[in-house]
A and B are shown apart, each in its own frame.
Chain A
Amino acid sequence: MARTDVQLMLDVKAGDEQSFALLLHRYRTPLVNFLYRMVRNREQAEDLAQEVFIRVYRARADYVPSAKFTTWLFRIATNLALNSVRDTRHQRMEVSLDAPVTVDSEEGDERPLDVAEKNPNIEEHLVQEAQRDMIRHAIDKLPEKQRAAVLLHKYQDLDYGEISKILSCSESALKSLLFRAYETLRVELAPLVALRGKS
Chain B
Amino acid sequence: METRLLGYIDGRLKEKEQREMEKHLAGCPACTVRVNEFRSVSSLLDELPQIEPSAAFDVRVRARIAAEPVKQPWWSWLGAAPRVLVAASMLLLATVWVGHRPADSNNMASSNNPDETQIMQDQDLPVLENYDVLANFEPLTELPQPVSADEPTEQDM
Contact surface of A with B, Cβ cutoff 8 Å: 17, 20-21, 24, 28-29, 32-33, 36-37, 42, 46, 49-50, 53-54, 57-58, 61, 106-108, 131-132, 135-136, 139, 150, 153-155, 159-160, 172, 175-176, 178-179, 182, 185-186, 189, 192-193, 196-197
Contacts and interface: CB of A to CB of B under 8 A. Distances in A.
Nearest to A175: B3
A193 B40 contact: yes
Contact of A58 (B12, B53, B68, B73): B68
Contacts of A172: 3
A159 B13 CA distance: 11
- Size bracket of the B interface: 20 to 34
B7 A160 contact: yes
Contacts of A54: 61, 64-65, 68
B7 to A, nearest CB: 7
29 contacts: A24-B61, A29-B50, A29-B52, A29-B53, A36-B51, A46-B53, A46-B54, A46-B57, A54-B61, A54-B65, A58-B68, A106-B48, A132-B47, A135-B48, A139-B45, A150-B45, A159-B12, A175-B4, A175-B6, A179-B2, A179-B3, A179-B5, A185-B41, A185-B45, A189-B41, A189-B44, A193-B37, A193-B40, A193-B41
A182 B5 CA distance: 10
Given A135-B44, A154-B42, A175-B6, 12 more contacts: A28-B61, A32-B51, A49-B53, A50-B61, A57-B68, A135-B45, A135-B48, A150-B45, A160-B12, A175-B4, A178-B3, A189-B41
Highest count of chain B CB atoms <10 Å: which of A53, A61, A155: A53
A8 B106 CA distance: 66
Nearest to A24: B61
Contacts of B58: 24, 28
A49 B52 CA distance: 13
A186 B51 contact: no
B60 interface: yes
